[in-house]
Amino acid sequence: MVPKHFMATVKPFRALRPKPELASQVCELPYDVMSSEEARQVANGNKLSFLHVSKPEIDLPQGIDPYASAVYQKGRENFETLLAGGIIQKDSKPCFYLYQQIMGTHRQAGIVAVASCEDYSTGTIKKHELTRPEKEDDRVRHIESLNAQTGPVFLTYRACDALDEISDSVSSGRPALDFVANDGVRHTSWVIDDVALIRRIEDAFASISFLYIADGHHRSAAAMRVWQSRNGAGQSGSFLAVLFPHDQMRILPYNRVLRDLNGLNGPQLLDKLDQVFVIRKGGGGKTSEKHELGLYLEGAWHLLRFRLEFVEGGDAKDGLDVTLLQKLVLSPVFQIEDPRTSQRISFVGGIRGTQELERLVNSGEYACAFSMFPTGIEDLMAIADSNGLMPPKSTWFEPKLRDGMFCHQL
């Protein structure tokens, strides 16, 4: 039974938004899904690209430390240039917004709002991952430099009929912004400025006990630190978020690639894995259900299924495939104790497909790859509800929210 005093505080705000006709040039993928070099290539020849704000090292000499003071100063200059040129403009009154994404056959629509730093600190907004201090520090400095939050936190909540009805009604109207990005994902938004409808949305969220961070642990932790350091001044007590119902969330696998076999040859590795998995050749790296993995080794795929004795009983966290792989394989077989810090393991988002795993292993840069079955949203919420933490790189949400579509000035 959920305590009654918990309720989510979700508020409208005056968003900074790009001119509709320029949105496709401004809005970009989040800062943390591409390298500085990839960002340079994407933004090349496009002065309006929001990457000049979110990854401003691309406008400074190659090889510069991305955490250098000059980088944050450049980000501020670039942000102020977009504002001064009217490329992004601030709404005259607080609004909610509906943000819809269509990727292939998948559609998801979320409310754009500001969530409460206090809710984050008290656990009404639940987290499921540890943050890394240097990444948190980076986001704090970015927010402080711009005096704004430019990348939304991706929140989810247990689906609610009242919010579903509002979303369906709003999305039947004329959008404020509508474009297809160069990766084929369609991004559409609507402004919700009707006072009665704003009140209905606030009331609906007030009946929801908990919100869950899907993506954006560093952004939300940084927002709380800025709020605390400013003693709640201005708009610092709120952070930019898009809130989606849990039944629209799409999680892709987060795959693992290993640089070496820890002194084993291929047959020796398979022999050790045989104690943990039922193994059969083939499968092409495709997994069809929980507790099923693919292994790419020496040019061939193997389908691995955890033996029953390892998956029976235990809580939601212990039953995650990423947890089981770490405990039963990565630690004892590969001697990788902390995947956060080990240089011998890398992580590949499921959007890149199993072909990317084959490419990395075939290139000789990596020795083998594990393709995973995606973590379920119900598992994520169950772990967060029990105040548990998921292993690093457990979930890859897709499609990604675009930076620059909405900004929140403090």
Amino acid at 102: I
Residues of the chain with pLDDT under 50: 1-5
CB environment 320-345: b (16+ within 10 A), e (fewer): bbbbbbbebbbeebbebeebeeeebb
User: Residue 2: its pLDDT value, please?
Assistant: 41
User: Residue 392: its pLDDT value, please?
Assistant: 80
Neighbouring CB atoms inside 10 A of 392's CB total: 17
- Signed CA dihedral, 228, 383, 251, 292: sign only: positive
Q: Give the closest residue to 410 by CA, choosing from 77, 148, 226, 93.
A: 148
User: Residue 133: its pLDDT value, please?
Assistant: 87
Please tell me the pTM assigned to this model. 0.90
Instruction: Check if the beta carbon of residue 332 is closer than 8 Å to that of residue 407.
Output: no
User: Residue 6: its pLDDT value, please?
Assistant: 66
Segment 347-362, tens digit of pLDDT = 998 888 899 999 999 9
Selecting from 3.10.20, 2.60.120, 3.30.1760, 3.40.50, what CATH number does the domain 254-373 have?
3.30.1760
Q: Give the closest residue to 151 by CA, choosing from 404, 409, 410.
A: 404
Structure tokens at 116: 């409460």
Segment 57-100, tens digit of pLDDT = 999 999 999 999 999 999 999 999 999 999 999 999 999 999 99
User: Residue 67: its pLDDT value, please?
Assistant: 95
User: Residue 3: its pLDDT value, please?
Assistant: 39
User: Residue 252: its pLDDT value, please?
Assistant: 92
3-state secondary structure 229-295: HCCCCCCCCEEEEEEEEHHHCCEECEEEEECCCCCCCHHHHHHHHCCCEEEEECCCCCCCCCCEEEE
User: Residue 131: its pLDDT value, please?
Assistant: 85
Q: What is the residue extent of each domain of the chain? A: 10-251+398-409, 254-373
